[in-house]
């Protein structure tokens, strides 16, 4: 009897090991893949119109030729709840790293021009970013010596103006950011002549600075005032409604988007404050007064029509 019980227990033990064997093997082969968290950047509730929309194209490549190898590459830095991304000679962007359905993503500047002082490239200006109150966001990128290419620091010294520090071994040589060696031979010759004119007192210090600026503008390192004005005007025109029909069409599209978002909120049981809205059909077309009193125009201190 004892032998039969022992055999039965041994059989149960063998069956248990056999059952655990494949499970243990499967557990050993199990691989947990951790996907990178995109937070709100690819949120399906975001409309396509929320994608980043630059106001203009970046300026052409300019400056020291050995820095051109940075073009087409991007470098990121996460600080607090924001991810900053610098793409030299292209743009600077900011992405909010939260789970909010409307997490902010925006452009902090588009490659525009160099900042030059003491005949040295001091920084890269990224201008004409997303609107910020009555102006556009802009960023200055300072290049410093480092062991590797990396975005080291981001700050906002004043409202909507950002300061970035980019470390790279490409600027460790003491002459790596000098302007004169980067110029074409013809412009170097003109610079030599300007220096000689200043030494011979043929031009003043103010004339010397103006001549150098003209050289830098011709080389593409700086933008002329006319170029900067045309960029700003182009950005303003892109945001303006040229006709009443364009304005009405934009309002209809906005109304459709509002209804879509409300439907999503209702579908997911998210409460929201429903303000009174006027459908697009009630905006278009002239209004006819219902009585004999003429409508007073905004800013008009008197009444329209004959008041005698």
Higher pLDDT, 26 or 97: 97
The domain boundary, picked from 160, 192, 224, lies at 224
Q: Which of 19-28, 48-57, 180-189 has the lowest mean pLDDT?
A: 19-28
Token readout for 200 is 């011979």
Which domain, by its residues, includes 174?
51-178
pLDDT tens, position by position, 293-305: 333 333 333 333 4
pLDDT value at position 279? 59
The verdict on 101 and 149 lying in the same domain is yes
The verdict on 102 and 158 lying in the same domain is yes
Higher pLDDT, 205 or 249: 205
Token readout for 88 is 């030299």
Neighbouring residues of 213: CB distance < 8 A, sequence distance ≥ 6: 222
Average pLDDT over residues 213-224: 95
The verdict on 162 and 202 lying in the same domain is no
The verdict on 94 and 212 lying in the same domain is no
The CATH number that applies at residue 167 is 2.70.130.10
The verdict on 174 and 55 lying in the same domain is yes
pLDDT value at position 5? 52
pLDDT value at position 156? 93
Q: Is residue 163 part of a domain?
A: yes
pLDDT value at position 261? 76
How many distinct structural domains can be found in the chain? 2
Q: At what angle do helices 205-219 and 185-199 cross, to 10 degrees?
A: 180
The domain boundary, picked from 194, 224, 254, lies at 224
Q: Is residue 206 part of a domain?
A: yes
pLDDT value at position 301? 36
pLDDT tens, position by position, 112-166: 999 999 999 999 999 999 998 889 999 999 999 999 999 999 999 999 999 999 9
Q: Is residue 258 part of a domain?
A: no
C-alpha of 104 from chain center: 10
pLDDT tens, position by position, 233-265: 444 444 444 567 667 777 777 877 777 778 777
pLDDT value at position 277? 58
The verdict on 59 and 128 lying in the same domain is yes
pLDDT value at position 291? 45
Q: Does residue 96 surpass a pLDDT of 80?
A: yes
The verdict on 210 and 147 lying in the same domain is no
The verdict on 188 and 73 lying in the same domain is no
Please provide the DSSP assignment of the chain as one string: -HHHHHHHHHHHHHHHHHHHHHHHHHHHH-----PPP-TTTT-TTS-GGGS---SSPPPPP-S-GGGGGGTT--EEEEETTEEEEEETTTEEEEEE-S--TT--EEEEEEEEEEEEETTEEEEEEEE--SEETTEE-EEEEEEEE-SS-EEEEEEEEETTEEEEEEEEGGG-STTTTBSGGGS-HHHHHHHHHHHHHHHTTSS-HHHHHHHHHHHHHHHTSS--HHHHHHHHHHHHHHHS--SHHHHHHHHHHHHHHHHHHHHHHHHTT----------GGGTSSPPPPSSSSPPPPTT-SS-SS---
The verdict on 171 and 192 lying in the same domain is no
């Amino acid at each position: 009897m004892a032998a039969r019980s022992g055999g039965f227990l041994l059989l149960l033990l063998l069956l248990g090991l056999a059952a655990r064997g494949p499970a243990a093997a499967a557990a050993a082969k199990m691989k947990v893949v951790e996907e990178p968290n995109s937070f709100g950047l690819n949120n399906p509730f975001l409309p396509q119109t929320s994608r980043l929309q630059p106001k203009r194209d970046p300026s052409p490549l300019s400056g020291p030729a050995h820095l051109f190898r940075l073009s087409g590459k991007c470098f990121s830095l996460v600080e607090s709840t924001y991810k900053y991304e610098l793409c030299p000679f292209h743009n600077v962007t900011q992405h909010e790293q939260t789970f909010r359905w409307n997490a902010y993503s925006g452009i902090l500047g588009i490659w525009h021009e160099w900042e030059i002082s003491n005949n040295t490239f001091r920084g890269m200006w990224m201008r004409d970013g997303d609107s910020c109150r009555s102006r556009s966001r802009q960023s200055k990128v300072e290049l410093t010596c480092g062991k590797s290419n990396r975005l080291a620091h981001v700050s906002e010294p004043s409202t909507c103006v950002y300061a970035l520090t980019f470390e790279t071994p490409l600027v460790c040589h003491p002459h790596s950011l000098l302007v004169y060696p980067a110029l074409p031979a013809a412009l170097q010759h003109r610079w030599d002549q300007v220096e000689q004119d200043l030494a011979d007192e043929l031009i003043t210090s103010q004339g010397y600075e103006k001549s150098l600026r003209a050289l830098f503008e011709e080389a593409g390192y700086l933008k002329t005032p006319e170029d900067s004005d045309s960029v700003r005007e182009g950005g303003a025109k892109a945001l303006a409604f040229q006709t009443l029909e364009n304005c009405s069409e934009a309002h209809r599209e906005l109304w459709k988007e509002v209804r879509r978002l409300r439907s999503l909120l209702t579908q997911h049981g998210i409460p929201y404050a429903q303000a009174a809205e006027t459908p697009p059909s009630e905006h278009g077309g002239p209004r006819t007064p219902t009585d004999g009193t003429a409508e007073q125009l905004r800013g008009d201190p008197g009444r329209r029509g004959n008041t005698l």
